[in-house]
Amino acid sequence: MIRFDQVFKRYANGREALSGVSFSIAAGELAFLTGHSGAGKSSILKLIALIERPSRGQVIINNQNTSRIKPRGIPQFRRQLGVVFQDHKLLHDRPVADNVALPLIIAGVPRREIDKRVRAALDQVGLLGKEKSLPLELSTGEQQRVGIARSIVAKPALLIADEPTGNLDPELALEIMKLFKRFNEVGVTVVVATHDVHLIEQFGARRIVLGHGRVTDAGERAAEGGGHGEGKGEGEGNGKGVTIEAHRP
Amino acid sequence: MNAQAYFARHAQTLVGSLGRIVHHPFATLMTMGVVAVALALPLFLNLLLSNVRNATGNWNEAFDLSIYMDKKAGAERTAALAKLLRQRGDVAAVRIITADQAFKEFRDNSGFGDALDALTDNPLPDTLIVTPTLLASTPQGTDLLKAAIAGMADVQTVQLDTDWVKRLHGMLDILRRVVLLTGALLGAGVVLIVGNTIRLDILNRRAEIEVMKLVGASDGFARRPFLYSGIWYGLGGGLMALILVALAAVILAKPVNELAKLYGSPFHLEGLNFATAASVLGVAVGLAWLGSWLAATRHIRGIDPI
């Protein structure tokens, strides 16, 4: 589902966020990206969502080489994934239902279908009945769950989350993580970036540890994560992916 | 996406963008007001111009030709020429003033009565007053008619004072171009005003556009509500411009009619008709749409999620 091959990312200000990152995550896996702030977690998620482009190396998502996706194709590409942000990124001038419906409206789903799927998504995050509330009338935890409902409403095969529990107390954070676990159990590939090591210890999922722009521990691939046949035996677990020189000119 | 859903979505965006601009009534009315003033000025000038044209069209006796007959022609041949002229396609009417009538009129009106009585002979010729048809009442048309009549038998002189008519037409032509230029400049102004309003609107809603792009919206999708806002600005501004010009016409109608009465003219001020009003609204919406398209296309492309 996700494969990074010798990926470098240097920003315009000269800071190198990623220095030769290689790893892969199979379809159906649940993986946590951890590491100190500045280790490169956010950069990896931005490369997955095509918010940024790698300076060198290849990022392959869902069998698509992202370097071949032109700017015109980015919207279509993003509709295949759900993204959850630390700061929720909700539209505060419209009710919860409209926020959750946004990806479906963009994809051109008929109105009646939208209402049904918005209610289903809100039900999954435990917010049924809050359709007409404005985001600011909800608690932070509830706002985050609205963001999660929005990310899954279009039924993406891949869900990525950047510090989704960053602003939440431990109890709420655990609840949110359980939500991600539940989505993973129904077949969604889930990648969560978090610095909260204690929290993820409670889940038996794979951890990819980053430090100074490199993978220091690519973790164990979970047993149920096979079947997709991609990335098998490619520098898995050696941390630096030195077996392949795959960067493009 | 099927066609019905597509149109439903557009209708929804159209109404949604109206709701959004109505939410800020003061700012919206300001923008519409500037658009209205920019459109009303050329529209009003154009209205004045077409009224001046109508007025000069009513004065087509100014285009009458005076034909002075040869003294030897006599009443019968004068009448025959009048008959011949009446059959022409570019002649509306021919009036005969015989030498005797002319002499009597001159003696009564000029104050030279006694002196004229001393003459043994009437020095005045028979005269035909020829009125061209409305179509032929142009400087070129009357010149052609004049040339044709001058070549006819028994005609001594054909007199036509077209100089002032030519000057008037020259002035109207300049005025018409001034109106066109003003219209073009102020039209460009409408594009810029609406473009700038939309630009500010986009900057205010930057976060929202970022979120939309993050969840897969294309630039076209993000641009759509702004295009509809532009259309509303154009429609509102156009309607306000029509109201302004209609008010101006009402204010001017009474004094203009009184002035026309003093000149004994049936002229009255023509207001806006339906076709003009419809095309003003069309132009307003078109210009505003163009302004919002330019601004939205440029500024939405520059917004990238971070």
DSSP secondary structure of A136-187 = GGS-HHHHHHHHHHHHHTT--SEEEEESTTTTS-HHHHHHHHHHHHHHHHTT
- From B131, B153, B175, give the residue that closes a domain: B153
Q: Do B5 and A110 touch (CB under 8 A)?
A: yes
Spacing of C-alpha B213 from chain mean position? 48
The predicted pLDDT at position B91 comes to 86
The predicted pLDDT at position B162 comes to 65
Rounded distance between C-alpha atoms, residue A123 and residue A141, angstroms: 15
Maximum average pLDDT range among A44-58, A225-239, B57-71: A44-58
What sign results for the dihedral spanned by CA atoms A162, A206, A199, A134? positive
Rounded distance between C-alpha atoms, residue A202 and residue B109, angstroms: 121
CA dihedral A180, A162, B211, A173 (to 10 degrees): 50
pLDDT band at B92 (very low <50, low <70, confident <90, very high): confident
Identify the three-state secondary structure at position A200: helix
User: Do both B185 and B107 map to the same domain?
Assistant: no
Closest chain B C-alpha to A175 CA, distance in angstroms:
24
Prediction pTM value: 0.71
* Residue-averaged pLDDT of chain A: 84
Pick B208 or B2 by higher pLDDT. Answer: B208
User: Do both B148 and B243 map to the same domain?
Assistant: no
**pLDDT tens-digit map of A122-157:** 999 999 989 999 999 999 889 999 999 999 999 999
- Contact list, A90 vs chain B (CB under 8 Å): 211
- Which residue in A42, A50, A79, A89 has the most chain B C-beta atoms within 10 A of its own C-beta, making it the best mutation to test that interface? A89
The answer to whether residue A108 sits within a structural domain is yes
- Contact list, B6 vs chain A (CB under 8 Å): 108
Instruction: Provide the residue range defining the domain that includes B77.
Output: 71-153
Question: What's the token pair of residue A230?
Answer: 């991609």
Q: Quick one: angle between helices B274-301 and B25-58, nearest 10?
A: 140
Closest chain A C-alpha to B196 CA, distance in angstroms:
23
- Contact list, A79 vs chain B (CB under 8 Å): 215-216
Task: Kindly list the distances between the CA atom of residue A158 and the CA atoms of A79, B101, B237, in Å, as whole numbers in the listed order.
Answer: 10, 106, 48
What number of C-beta contacts closer than 8 Å exist between A and B? 50
Q: Do B215 and A110 touch (CB under 8 A)?
A: no
Question: What's the token pair of residue A124?
Answer: 């999954």
- Contact list, A77 vs chain B (CB under 8 Å): 216
The answer to whether residue A228 sits within a structural domain is no
User: In chain B, which residues touch A (CB < 8 A)?
Assistant: 1-2, 5-6, 8-9, 207-208, 210-219, 221, 304-306
Rounded distance between C-alpha atoms, residue A3 and residue A62, angstroms: 9
Question: What's the token pair of residue B305?
Answer: 């999620």
- From B153, B183, B211, give the residue that closes a domain: B153
The answer to whether residue A118 sits within a structural domain is yes
Least Cα distance to B125 among B149, B165, B157 occurs for B157
- Contact list, B221 vs chain A (CB under 8 Å): 75, 106
Q: Do A49 and B214 touch (CB under 8 A)?
A: yes
Q: Counting beta carbons within 10 angstroms of the beta carbon of residue B130, is it exposed (0 to 12), middle (13 to 18) or buried (19 or more)? A: buried
CATH number at residue B139: 3.30.70.3040
Decide if pLDDT at B50 tops 60.
yes
Rounded distance between C-alpha atoms, residue A135 and residue A63, angstroms: 36
User: Do both B200 and B283 map to the same domain?
Assistant: yes
Rounded distance between C-alpha atoms, residue B110 and residue B283, angstroms: 58
Decide if pLDDT at A63 tops 50.
yes
Decide if pLDDT at B291 tops 80.
yes
**pLDDT tens-digit map of A2-56:** 999 999 999 888 888 899 899 999 999 999 999 888 888 889 999 999 999 999 9
The predicted pLDDT at position B157 comes to 85
Rounded distance between C-alpha atoms, residue A245 and residue A8, angstroms: 12
Least Cα distance to B52 among B259, B282, B284 occurs for B259
Question: What is the number of structural domains in chain B?
Answer: 2
Closest chain B C-alpha to A220 CA, distance in angstroms:
31
Task: Kindly list the distances between the CA atom of residue B270 and the CA atoms of A84, B33, B44, B48, in Å, as whole numbers in the listed order.
Answer: 64, 25, 12, 9
The answer to whether residue B21 sits within a structural domain is yes
Q: Do A108 and B218 touch (CB under 8 A)?
A: no
The answer to whether residue A102 sits within a structural domain is yes
pLDDT band at A239 (very low <50, low <70, confident <90, very high): very low
Question: What is the number of structural domains in chain A?
Answer: 1
Count of alpha carbons within 13 angstroms of residue A246, beta-carbon side: 23
pLDDT band at B161 (very low <50, low <70, confident <90, very high): low
Q: Do A83 and B8 touch (CB under 8 A)?
A: no
User: Do both B9 and B46 map to the same domain?
Assistant: yes
Closest chain A C-alpha to B237 CA, distance in angstroms:
27
Q: Do B215 and A83 touch (CB under 8 A)?
A: yes
Q: Do A78 and B215 touch (CB under 8 A)?
A: yes
Q: What is the mean pLDDT of residues A185-191?
A: 92
- From B119, B153, B187, give the residue that closes a domain: B153
* Whole-number percent of chain B with pLDDT over 90: 32
pLDDT band at B242 (very low <50, low <70, confident <90, very high): very high
The answer to whether residue A182 sits within a structural domain is no
The predicted pLDDT at position B11 comes to 80
Nearest residue of A to residue B305, measured between CA atoms: A51
* Whole-number percent of chain A with pLDDT over 90: 51
User: Do both B149 and B176 map to the same domain?
Assistant: no
Point out the least confidently predicted range of A235-249, B75-89, B152-166, B252-266.
A235-249
Rounded distance between C-alpha atoms, residue B194 and residue B192, angstroms: 6
The predicted pLDDT at position A172 comes to 86
**Side by side, which strands form the sheet with A16-25?**
A16-25, A2-10, A56-61, A64-65
Contact B12, B216 (CB under 8 A): no
Instruction: Provide the residue range defining the domain that includes A128.
Output: 92-155
The answer to whether residue B65 sits within a structural domain is no
Q: Do B305 and A51 touch (CB under 8 A)?
A: yes
The answer to whether residue A138 sits within a structural domain is yes
Residues near B50 by beta carbon (within 8 Å), at least 6 away in sequence: B270
Q: Do A83 and B214 touch (CB under 8 A)?
A: yes
Nearest residue of A to residue B304, measured between CA atoms: A51
* Residue-averaged pLDDT of chain B: 85
Q: Do A90 and B211 touch (CB under 8 A)?
A: yes
Q: Which of A93, A106, A111 sits opposite B215 (nearest CB)?
A: A106
The predicted pLDDT at position B170 comes to 83
- Which residue in A45, A50, A72, A78 has the most chain B C-beta atoms within 10 A of its own C-beta, making it the best mutation to test that interface? A78
Closest chain B C-alpha to A133 CA, distance in angstroms:
18
Closest chain B C-alpha to A83 CA, distance in angstroms:
8
Q: Counting beta carbons within 10 angstroms of the beta carbon of residue B181, is it exposed (0 to 12), middle (13 to 18) or buried (19 or more)? A: exposed
Closest chain B C-alpha to A188 CA, distance in angstroms:
17
The predicted pLDDT at position A149 comes to 94
* Whole-number percent of chain A with pLDDT over 70: 88
Contact B290, B278 (CB under 8 A): no
